[in-house]
Chains A and B, each alone.
Chain A
Amino acid sequence: MQNGEINKIWELLNTVPDPEIPVISVVELGVIRNVTFTDNCYVISITPTYSGCPAVKAFQDDIKVCLKENKITNFKLKIVYSPAWTTKWMSTETKEKLRKYGIAPPSDTVICPQCNSEKTTLISDFGATACKALYKCSDCLEPFEFFKCI
């Protein structure tokens, strides 16, 4: 019974998109660390991607709305810092979703998401969001964003 309910919570969380990269969910992003059920309450443990990322606050609000819309009110969100979030938690499928969306997924070699060339140059370590860097492709000349490995 309880396990089934917890799986249901995971399924619902998997429908909450990342506010800045809406092609992946907060579950795929790897920020939901755990869901437990204690004292008649679901405890959802969340870890921030970057300390100051404004999306962290935004997706906490989105999670609350999503659960309430599904008539779940007995839950708490808990922020955990350890272990620190890492892009290693991202699955191959998630990385492919990023690539199709035009963002080079985290990897040792930065590959252009447009033409798959490995000849790319760093423009800046910092991009439009904390998690991304700016690159340029030397073959197709398109600029693109790279999801930083941390």
Chain B
Amino acid sequence: MTSLLIYTLRIADSSLILAQRMAEWCAKGPELEEDIALSNISLDMFGQANGFYEYASQLDGSKSADDLAFLRNEREFLNHQVVEIENGHFGKTIVRNFLHDAFKFLFFTKLSESKDETLAALSAKSLKEVKYHLRHSTNWLIRLGDGTEESNAKVQESLEQIWQFTAELFEMDEIDTELLNLGIAVDNKALKTQWDKTVNSTLKKAKLKRPEDGYMATGGKKGMHTEYLGFLLAEMQFLQRAYPNAKW
């Protein structure tokens, strides 16, 4: 696999896995408007994933976008670990999405200036949608954090649980560096300062405490995952595995 293909798959995989997580909320939202919102966000992410998979499929030359989504195994998925974390309660979903949305907003802003025209175009498109997602998760985080004693305690606990998965977002490996030098990839490390600002100001408004960096998880981009991903794939890929080539 070329570096560009791996880079594209990492973006596609993160979008797809989080889309699938959000789809799990469909018909289970805490209220009707929120059910619609969570499902809409899921749909945006599936669409974004599809765009990046179509490009990956062109780069690959033999696998279709569907093959890439439905016929790869756990260790072949290159998404950030944070997106595979279980939904838990609504507040936990909001915390996970907020931390990830704040990163994705900065990431797509930069990637839309990439020298790779397709990555740039797909990012510019995705960015418009991510702005809404970030606004949604930010507003809810503030509402829950600055809500009741119970809601504050619940999201604070989720924040402590998920924090360890945020460091991976800013890692640079040899593929990132190679493509950064070609003007294609984003300098993830350079996004950290702005991400810290966004996160700190939102946590302050939400009356939440920023967790200390302790053990920080890593490995998603290399195919190492938490125990949650396998279960998610088993459900998502079931149909294509049980009935190969089934068409909708």
A interface list, Cβ under 8 A from B: 48, 50-54, 80-85, 123-128, 130, 134, 148, 150
Contact = CB atoms under 8 A, between A and B. Distances in A.
Contact of A82 (B46, B48, B120): B120
12 contacts: A50-B44, A51-B46, A51-B47, A52-B42, A52-B43, A80-B121, A84-B125, A123-B33, A127-B36, A130-B43, A148-B132, A150-B128
Given A50-B44, A81-B51, A128 B36 contact: yes
Contact of B47 (A52, A124, A127, A134): A52
Given A125-B37, A128-B36, A51 B48 contact: yes
A81 B51 CA distance: 9
Contact of A53 (B37, B45, B47, B126): B47
Contacts, number: 70
Main secondary structure of the interface of A (DSSP, over half): loop
A56 to B, nearest CB: 8
Nearest to B135: A125
Contacts of A150: 128-129
Contacts of B118: 81
A80 to B, nearest CB: 8
B33 A126 contact: yes
Contacts of B154: none
A130 to B, nearest CB: 6
A127 B51 CA distance: 23
A80 B48 CA distance: 14
Interface centre among B37, B40, B43, B45 (most CB of A within 10 A): B40
A81 B120 CA distance: 9
Interface residues of B, number: 28
B42 to A, nearest CB: 8
Contacts of A52: 42-48, 50
Contact of A130 (B44, B117, B125): B44
Given A124-B37, A126-B41, A127-B36, A82 B117 contact: yes
Given A52-B43, A52-B48, A125-B132, A81 B121 contact: yes
A10 B125 CA distance: 25
Contacts of A127: 36, 40
Contacts of B46: 51-52
A143 to B, nearest CB: 11
B122 interface: yes
Nearest to A81: B121
B31 to A, nearest CB: 9
B40 A81 contact: no
B104 to A, nearest CB: 13
A50 B117 contact: no
Contacts of B125: 48, 51, 81-82, 84-85
B33 A124 contact: yes
B191 interface: no
A51 B42 CA distance: 11
B47 A50 contact: yes
A12 B208 CA distance: 57
B124 interface: yes
A71 B23 CA distance: 41
